[in-house]
Amino acid sequence: MLNAIKQIGASDKLVITTVYVIVTSFALFSFIPFWLVIVNSFASESELGLHGFSLLPSKWSLDAYRYLLTGNQIYYSYGVTLFVTIVGTVLAVLITAMFAYVLAHPKIRYKNQLAFFTYFTILFGTGLVGFYIVISMWLGLKDSIWSMILPSLINPFYTFILVSFFRTLPFEIYESAVMDGAGDYRIFFRIMWPISVPAIATISLFYAIFYWNDWWLALLFVDNYKLQPLQLMIRQLISNLNILSYIQGSPGSYGGGLPNQGVRLATVCLTIGPIVFLYPYIQRYFVKGLTIGSVKG
Amino acid sequence: MVFREIMRNRVLYSLAVPGLLVLIIFFYLPMFGHVIAFKNYNYFDGIWGSPWTGLDNFKFFFGGSDWLRVTFNTLFLNALFIAFGLVISVILAIFLNEIRQAVFKRVAQSMAFLPFFVSWMVVSMMLFSLLNTSDGLINRSLKELGLDAVSWYSMPHYWPAILTIISVWKTAGYQAVIYLAAITSISPEYYESAQIDGATRLQRIRHITMPLLRPTIIVLTLLAIGRIFYGDFGMIFGLVGDNGVLYETTDVIDTYAYRALRQLGNFGMSSSIGLYQSVLGLVTICVFNLIVRKIDKESSIF
């Protein structure tokens, strides 16, 4: 008996050691690229040229940031990304919430048809060509900031997360509110919205991160460098040889021996900054949102 | 009757109008673009005015060998991502669940989840700082060990492996969080009584956690397989970009259609590729969704 307990103890110890080793390795594996980019953005350019990217640079400098912040492009791009994220998220959450509310409302007889109308967009690919023609030619949104906002105002997956939440709302209130003479808009915005704040906050975060990280729409529709969001700025810095004049925000000016590599890293750091900064908050809501989504009814 | 129902609840229905408009304009209207697959599209005549060409665009696309390559790459890469993502995220979730030290668990989970929140452009810069031939961290380390540097960006045969590692890096933490949520909903009574009966940790994992996690694993995997014909454009374009040397192993249907449209300006061919993908995509999603429905009605998407 004692021997058996000892054996269990030994086997458990082996398991728990393996668990800690594997989980630690995976956590490091996940984090090292972040570390690499952040730390090396503060390395001096001569250090980067001499030793390349290292886990702990020996010479530090703020040159990359200083140079980046004297140019105009980072301000254009930050402005565009902020505008798209804020306006996009506000509009998308409003439209998605109103739409999802109708899909969840017991008085609506065509719920299933509306739901199918929404599902179908996930099932059948829209096709790149039609999408491109509608937005750039029919709507004339080429090189417009709205081309990065409007097409993403409804995300079917987020819609259904909200629908499943709205189905749990106390719709008995609805009847009595109608009796008291409240209209549908009043009921939605004054009664249903406030009790749905946790779910709506989660969806807002989903949309905000989506808009912050999106570059697909900008890649398709935006050529004007003044309208390029941060994510596209990173792409330009990777693929563009003449990055120095790009950063200045005015083609033509040119300087030599400036922090080339460092500027790319600094741009990445400024791009992921808000996400890393708000991360504890983001993570909590995301996990909550995933749980709401997984109990879809 | 339809009209009466809508009129009766017109105020309520009107709440859905902005959403419906977005769906119609940005999802349904573009579907008419599939017509271009059967046309010789030109800018001046537009979608409706351009002359019909029957199946010429398809003949052009299927006449070459590109379609086989991009279809194979799409399926092969997605299969790798699904298989490795599944195994590693399940292991990670089970292991995280075994950890009793709350702080360690929270920090580890946060680190593993973090890559999910950054864009492929950011990932591409991170990858560059690792793989870059002259001063990337990996080549620097190889050189210090006395080995030759590898020019990763011109060696297509390494890329299915590189892309799989990155895919796991980016999504396994996120998937693990979903599986972890499923594990934590398992009643602790099972574990307690197993412990009383003298089960080891390994036995508890094998005989309680694994079987109870199986339905979630099956459903999520089938849903992922349903989307196997859709390549991850953001990932491939973000990481490979215009590097033609790597197309052989990395080009997927989505990146191919994008280049046909934006670089060649061949609307007809790009459109026939899009239609080919949409039809195959629709069929596989429906088939796999039906299977999911059989297993667990709640989890099917329709």
Question: Minimal Cα distance from A275: which residue of B?
Answer: B117
CA atoms within 13 A on the CB side of A226: 4
Q: Which residues of A touch B257 (CB under 8 A)?
A: 128-129
- Write the residue in B12, B107, B282 that is nearest to A184 by C-beta: B12
Residue A220 and residue A99 in one domain: yes
Nearest to B233 among A53, A54, A216 (CB): A216
Least Cα separation, residue A118 to chain B (angstroms)? 7
pLDDT of residue B72: 95
Residues 6 or more apart whose CB falls under 8 angstroms from that of B175 comprise B85, B86, B89, B93, B220
| Range of lowest pLDDT (A22-31, A248-257, A260-269, B33-42) | A248-257
Average pLDDT on B169-174 reads 94
Q: Token pair for residue B192?
A: 């307690």
Q: Has residue B153 got a pLDDT over 80?
A: yes
* Averaged pLDDT of chain A: 85
Top mean pLDDT of A208-222, A274-288, B51-65 is at A208-222
Contact (CB<8Å) A124/B257: no
Of B141, B144, B118, B121, which Cα lies nearest the Cα of B131? B141
What pLDDT score does A277 carry?
87
Domain co-membership, A102 together with A247: yes
Which has the minimum average pLDDT: A19-23, A85-89, A174-178, B68-72? A174-178
Q: CB–CB of B11 and A271 under 8 A? A: no
| Segment 161-180 of chain A within 8 Å of chain B by CB | none
- Residue B100 DSSP one-character state: -
Residues A157 and A229 in one domain: yes
Q: In the CATH scheme, what is the code of domain B64-299?
A: 1.10.3720.10
pLDDT of the residue at B144: 84
- Counting the structural domains of chain A, the total is 2
Q: Answer yes or no: do A160 and A30 share one domain.
A: no
pLDDT at A296: 41
Q: Residue A79 has what pLDDT?
A: 95
| Separation of first and last alpha carbons in chain A | 49
A12 with A132, same domain: the answer is: no
Q: Across all residues in chain B, what is the average pLDDT?
A: 89
- ipTM score of complex: 0.88
- By the CB < 8 Å criterion, does A56 face chain B? no
d(CA B204, CA B39): 62
Considering the domain architecture, whether residues A103 and A243 belong to the same structural domain is answered as yes
pLDDT value at residue B118: 94
Query: What's the pLDDT at A243?
Result: 64
pLDDT confidence band for B41 (50 / 70 / 90): confident
Chosen domain end from A28, A46, A65: A65
Q: Are residues A75 and A130 in the same domain?
A: yes
SS3 state of residue B213: helix
Q: Do A25 and A170 fall within a single domain? A: no
Residue A127: give the domain boundaries. 68-294
| CATH classification of the domain holding A234 | 1.10.3720.10
Interface of A with B in 80-119 (CB under 8 A): 94-96, 98-99, 101-103, 105, 107-110, 114, 116-119
Q: What is the pLDDT of residue A258?
A: 54
Rounded to an integer, what distance in angstroms lies between the CA atom of residue B175 and that of residue B221?
11
3-class SS letters over chain A? CHHHHHHHHHHHHHHHHHHHHHHHHHHHHHHHHHHHHHHHHCECHHHHHHHCCCCCCCCECCHHHHHHHHCCHHHHHHHHHHHHHHHHHHHHHHHHHHHHHHHHCCCCCCHHHHHHHHHHHHHCCCCHHHHHHHHHHHCCCCCCHHHHCHHHCCCHHHHHHHHHHHCCCCCHHHHHHHHCCCCHHHHHHHHHHHHCHHHHHHHHHHHHHHHHHCCHHHHHHCCCHHHCCHHHHHHHHHHCCCHHHHHHCCCCCCCCCCCHHHHHHHHHHHHHHHHHHCHHHHHHHHHHHHHHHHCCC
pTM of structure: 0.89
Q: How far apart are CA A293 and CA A165, in angstroms?
A: 9
What integer pLDDT is reported at residue A254 of this predicted model?
Answer: 43
Give A123 or A80, the one with higher predicted confidence: A80
Residue with the two structure tokens 């030994």: A10
User: Is 90 exceeded by the pLDDT of residue A2?
Assistant: no
C-beta of residue B240 within 8 angstroms of C-beta of residue B254: no
Q: Are residues A36 and A157 in the same domain?
A: no
- Chosen for mutation from B113, B114, B153, B301 (greatest number of chain A CBs closer than 10 Å) is B114
| Last residue of one domain, picked from the residues A18, A49, A65 | A65
| pLDDT one-digit tens code per residue, A234-270 | 988 887 656 666 776 654 444 445 567 788 899 999 9
Q: What is the pLDDT of residues B91-122, one digit of tens each?
A: 999 999 999 898 999 999 999 999 999 999 99
Q: Select from A110, A129, A154 the Cβ nearest to the Cβ of B270.
A: A129
Domain C-terminal end among A43, A65, A87: A65
Instruction: Tell whether the model's pLDDT for residue B271 goes beyond 60.
Output: yes
Predicted local distance difference test score (pLDDT) of residue B184: 87
Mean pLDDT value of segment A90-111: 93
| pLDDT of A295 over the 50 cut | no
Per-residue model confidence (pLDDT) at position B202: 87
The domain locations on chain B are 64-299
Looking from the CA of B142 toward its CB, the CA atoms found within 13 Å total 16
Spell out the alpha helix ranges (H) of chain B: 2-8, 10-14, 17-23, 46-49, 56-63, 66-98, 102-113, 120-131, 137-144, 159-184, 188-196, 201-204, 210-226, 233-240, 247-250, 253-262, 267-295
Q: Are residues A87 and A193 in the same domain?
A: yes
The per-residue pLDDT for B158 is 94
Residue A132 and residue A7 share a domain: no
